[in-house]
Amino acid sequence: MKTFLKIVSAVGVLLIVGYIATHFFVKNKIETALEKPIAEGVVTYEDLGLNLFRGSVDFANIKWKSDKNESHLSVPRLKVASFSYYALLVDNQVKVKKVFFDEPDIFLHTKTDSVKSASQNNSKKFEKEVLVQKFEIDNGNFILKKDSIEKIRVSNFNFGIHEIFSSKDSRNGKVPFTYEDYKLEGDNLFFDLNDLQELNVDKVSVSEKNISLRNLHMAPKHSKDRYIEHIPYEKDWMDLKIDELSILDYTLNLKDKKSFSTPLIEIKKLNFEIFRDKTVKDDVRKKDMYSKMLRGLDFGIKIDSLNISSGYLAYGEQLKKPGPAATIFFDEFNSGITNITNLDLDREDFPMTNVKISTQFMGKSKLDFNWNFQVNDTLDRFTVQGSGYQIPDTSINSFFRPAFNMEAEGGVDEVYYNFSGDRNRASGDIKLDYEKFKLHVLKKDRERKNKVLSFLANIVVKNSSKNGGISKNVGEVKRDKTKSFWNYFWSCLEAGLKKVFI
């Protein structure tokens, strides 16, 4: 019995000594590894906790700082939990149940002229498979800076990704690992889009299937007066606000042929202001129709429905200086767009893209607009139909006065139009019902009427449609290919209005 107890005691002592020695050895290995440069930077920490039984490592106040630039990482607590010895010894796989970053502060700095470090180096390539079952970041802050410009910023973000697997094969791909699902939530997202625009989002939620953005603002960096100093030719100044944008049950494929699909995108309470300074040099580049733009994308897209509700859209043009801009706006803007896709263009049952809009022109007059085209139609054929009701002269003059130095007297009771065309020409019909319509030509001060020119103008203008309206066939309208589709549509309307009034 005494011999048995001595053996047990000896084994126990050996196990304790072995554990202490192994603990010291492993801890020393980790500390030694962290003393070497990692990703061209230096790692420091206050404390390292190691539990061999649980296979966990816990760092307190671990920091990394780049030797090359301002990049740095600061983590009050970093924990690696449940390292699998069995997977390492039997399967030659690094397997960890959880990696956890608590309140990390991440700052990355890149430079345009910096030489990208290649993955090839003198050290032996890592050949083992790596499996991290759960990777989490809690309440982090992230900033990406390129040269002297802050490109991305997000605060108070939480991130989780499951079943991260990296192998020799996956590390050769564009995404060096596979994963099961992920979720990102954060506040105050900032994204520098270009020299003219920046994006701000109060609340961001992105998962494997859904995206939700709240209080999105694509803001101009420059005022309407100053933005022309930053453009080489005529270009829109834009200010876009959206209360809520949701993308539901989407699929994103980044392999081979990249593609994106979703059954529904919802935009609630859109506020979009567009302004164009027409005194700037024209952009004479050829503009494609929307169907061709979608066909020409280098990635696949499939959006079954895109809905816009409770929107406000304003457009202004600065045609002369000095002087006010010509402006129009659309309130209570609601739109449904279906079948936005460029996938399987050669199939026989390729769907028609349909755009329906219902809105209040200048907040007073009901307008309806219906536009159809097929993305796979290489002739870029389309149809547009619409109507408008009770359009007063005050609404017409908000654009007429600054644009044409004219004023209308008397509004339009009803207007109907139906146009069809392709990328080159269009034609159609228009019908107007109106009474006591006159045009007043203004003097240069835009205040007083030029009585002589007004009299001559009204000689040729029909001041009443009579008998329920005037219907006219609009002859061929040739498209100016240096202008957008919306200019093309307006040219059709303008040709029709001239036929009715003159």
Burial class for 30, CB neighbours closer than 10 Å (0-12, 13-18, 19+): middle
> Per the domain annotation, does 100 fall within a domain?
yes
The whole-number pLDDT of residue 120 equals 44
Which CA distances in Å does 61 have to 45, 97, 360?
A: 5, 22, 58
Report the chain's terminal Cα–Cα distance, integer Å: 122
- Domain region containing 92: 21-111+127-192
Q: Residue 22 is which amino acid?
A: T
The whole-number pLDDT of residue 204 equals 97
The whole-number pLDDT of residue 459 equals 56
d(Cα 339, Cα 354) in Å, to the nearest integer? 7
d(Cα 141, Cα 152) in Å, to the nearest integer? 11
> Per the domain annotation, does 187 fall within a domain?
yes
Q: Cβ(217)–Cβ(200) under 8 Å?
A: yes
Q: How many domains does the chain have?
A: 1
Dihedral (Cα; 288, 319, 371, 301), 10-degree rounding: 40
> Per the domain annotation, does 77 fall within a domain?
yes
Strands 56-66, 72-83: pairing is antiparallel
CA-closest candidate to residue 493, choices 418, 399, 435 = 418
> Per the domain annotation, does 264 fall within a domain?
no
Nearest 5°: the CA angle 488, 491, 493 is: 115
> Per the domain annotation, does 263 fall within a domain?
no
Task: Determine which helix (DSSP H) or strand (DSSP E) holds 404, and give its type and residue range.
Answer: helix 393-404
With residues binned 3-state (H G I as helix, E B as strand, rest as coil), the percentages for the chain, rounded to 5, are 20, 50, 30
d(Cα 304, Cα 296) in Å, to the nearest integer? 19
> Per the domain annotation, does 79 fall within a domain?
yes
The whole-number pLDDT of residue 23 equals 47
pLDDT in tens, the chain (502 residues): 556 454 544 444 444 544 455 445 455 656 666 667 777 889 888 988 888 777 788 889 999 998 888 899 999 999 988 887 667 777 778 888 999 999 999 999 988 766 454 444 444 566 788 899 999 999 999 999 998 899 999 999 999 999 999 887 777 777 788 888 999 999 999 999 999 999 999 999 999 999 999 999 999 999 998 999 999 999 999 999 999 999 999 999 887 788 999 999 999 999 999 999 988 988 889 999 999 999 999 999 999 999 999 999 999 988 878 778 888 999 999 999 999 999 999 999 999 999 999 999 999 999 999 999 999 999 999 999 999 999 888 887 777 666 566 677 778 889 999 999 999 999 999 998 877 777 766 666 556 666 555 555 555 566 666 666 788 899 899 999 999 999 999 899 888 887 877 6
Which neighbouring-strand residues pair with 30?
none
> Per the domain annotation, does 221 fall within a domain?
no
d(Cα 308, Cα 332) in Å, to the nearest integer? 10
The whole-number pLDDT of residue 7 equals 52
d(Cα 392, Cα 400) in Å, to the nearest integer? 13
Which CA distances in Å does 60 have to 22, 50, 182, 307, 463?
A: 22, 12, 26, 49, 83
> Per the domain annotation, does 223 fall within a domain?
no
Q: 342: number of CA atoms within 13 Å, CB side?
A: 17
